[in-house]
Chains A and B, each alone.
Chain A
Amino acid sequence: MNDSDRSELILILAPIGRDAELMCDQLAATGLQCEPCGDVDELCGRLPDGVGALVLTEEALPAPAMARLLQTLEKQPRWSEVPLIILTGAPSFDVKTRSFDMFGRRTNITLVDRPVRIKTLISAAQSALRARQRQYDIRDLMSQLEERIHERDRFLAVLGHELRNPLGAILLASQMTDEDGRLDGEHAQLIERQSRHLTRLVNDLLDLSRVAAGKITLKKQITDLREIAEQSIRVVHPQADRQNITMRFARPPKALLVDADPVRVEQIITNILTNAVKYTPEGGHVDMSLESIDGRAAIRVKDDGVGIAAERIDGIFELFAQAENAIGRAQGGMGIGLALVRNLVSLHGGTVEASSDGVGKGSEFVVRLPLAKKEERSSPRQAAKRKTTETVSPGRRIVIVEDNADVRDLLRLKLRRLGHTVSDARDGVEGVQVVLSEKPDLALVDLGLPGIDGFQVARKVREHLGRDVVLVAVSGFGQPEDKRRALEAGFDEHITKPADVQDIENLLRRFPPRNASQEPRV
């Protein structure tokens, strides 16, 4: 029987006279599909092609015909039970030879006595077809479930396979204790590395099943993608280093804000980076960039690795798409990562695409997420800030440009402990870069820097950022002349060394945030 067929054809076996044709006409007039059969062999021959119901006269079923019909009906697949409508009451038929009991309870039979009212025949036919439709529904449902079970079995087999390698490494390494029962560093590191790998596998698996079950809730907040991108790089770096792969990230100068769950976005980016590293051989490169296009943030990861064959690209985000690949096996992976990426991206209302020029030609993955709308950027925290300019608001952004490492480190630590966000630089050139990219509230600049000095730093910063940043000069000389020079060079204030935290807090109080719609740092 054709497995995708939902035939509603009614076959009629009424070989005497024109009964069959007459009944066909009557049923066809009501829109039912109908065809007469010449004998039971023809009927049985047509059953495997798909049939909705059978109408038979009892005189068409003497014992041998009945046996033949029964035999054919036995061969139906489990979901199938073709309904039979048997017309009884033929005047010439011997009651004793009636043998419908042979069917027992195995078949859907309706007995209709003749003379048959057309209404009754039609009602019986419609009822039979309705039962048949339910059988088709069951058939289709069973087939879907079977497919899902097979998928799960394949999944479990791959899972088992992928767990055995890390576990094998851990087991052997854990047994490599020396005579004193100690384990050397290299083996301890292997155990840690493989344990983390297993953890990631398990987490990805659980996440995947939770996403599929609709159980993941996103904890969305306004997030700067640059921070998340950097965090992801930190996670993937060790593996890239082990393979001698260069990871590059072009951090954009402006914040790229999205309304997203930072943990999940980090998972997305980390999985894509890990994938890129996995499929790039020794000495290769993985580049990430961020940009804003058409109201969406785009995260682009490009590698010069093994690429993706044209026939595999469409299925690349499917579960196990990579498990067949030799390199994927060497690094250990089930191809869960990309399936998870697709699900998480889609939960955020974004899209992800993969492209490649072919085998050996590297690949590129692009994730697009909606940008946070302008209204969302001004959060309740901003309103609170505006009200409390008398006290120092927590979370100000500060840059320290100082070549003395001890001074720099100490100041940074103290300021961070107070809740400020601090970046630093150790010379003039780096100082300018950091100030321009961080756009802090306040920057402390040592005047006596190597390379370009503090005055030049101030000039360059003013050139690009105007008076948006509070610049404070720090020097060992406290004469009025020094202060004047500093102000002329563009500084807002001058303090003498050593600059301490109290000085800075005073300055922050004196110079409240300039830009009222400054993005909050997450």
Chain B
Amino acid sequence: MAASVLVVEDYADLRSAIATALARGHYACEQAASSTDAIDHLKEHHYDAILLSPAMPISADPVMLFLRENQPDELQKVILMTDAAREDYPTLVKPFGNAQLLSKLPHA
């Protein structure tokens, strides 16, 4: 079974580009355009990876807050898409290309 990824990104064209890149990399991908959307998805499914473009500061991001309170074990699946590298979570620094994206994900 293909590894599943939830992409949480509000910038439409970027979200669709990531989704296509993931599909080509043989990942099963679902998209969320907003925090609320993402939380709805997370309530229904578990994912092998959660690609999240977070609000700043991260501690105030609704998706992170939801996970911390309801699915703390899922926090380790989070990969942040941000402007700068971080030490607390695996990060993809925007803009990133296909190879970088796939390198951060668990194997398909």
Contacts and interface: CB of A to CB of B under 8 A. Distances in A.
Contact of B94 (A165, A175, A193): A165
A312 B18 CA distance: 34
Interface stretch (A325-333, A462-470, A480-488): A325-333
Interface string A273-292: 00000000000000000000
B60 interface: no
Interface stretch (B5-13, B42-50, B72-80): B5-13
Interface residues of A, number: 23
A167 B94 contact: yes
Contact of A168 (B20, B33, B34, B94): B94
A490 to B, nearest CB: 55
Contact of B95 (A171, A176, A193): A171
B21 interface: yes
Contacts of A164: 83, 94-95
B96 A168 contact: yes
B97 A172 contact: yes
Interface in A152-206: 160-161, 164-173, 175-176, 187, 190, 193-194
A164 B13 CA distance: 12
A190 B81 CA distance: 20
Contacts of A175: 21, 97-98
B39 interface: no
Given A172-B18, A175-B97, A160 B83 contact: yes
Contacts, number: 70
Nearest to A243: B12
Nearest to A162: B11
Contacts of A330: 10-12, 33-34
Contacts of A167: 94-95
Contacts of B21: 172, 175-176
B16 to A, nearest CB: 7
A165 B11 contact: yes
Given A164-B94, A164-B95, A175-B97, A169 B10 contact: no
Nearest to A172: B17
B83 A190 contact: no
Given A160-B83, A161-B83, A190-B17, A172 B98 contact: yes
B108 interface: no
A522 B16 CA distance: 42
Nearest to B94: A164
A197 to B, nearest CB: 8
B14 interface: yes
Interface in B63-108: 81, 83, 94-98, 101
A173 B17 contact: yes
A175 B99 CA distance: 9
Nearest to A190: B13
Contacts of A193: 13
Contacts of A166: 11, 13-14
A329 B34 CA distance: 11
B14 to A, nearest CB: 4
A169 B17 contact: yes
A172 B10 contact: no
B20 to A, nearest CB: 6
13 contacts: A164-B94, A165-B14, A165-B94, A168-B14, A169-B14, A169-B16, A170-B95, A172-B17, A172-B20, A172-B21, A172-B101, A330-B10, A330-B34
Interface of A: 160-161, 164-173, 175-176, 187, 190, 193-194, 326, 329-332
| 10 A-B pairs with the lowest CB-CB distances in the bound complex, closest first | A168-B95, A164-B94, A172-B17, A167-B95, A330-B10, A165-B11, A169-B13, A169-B14, A175-B98, A168-B94
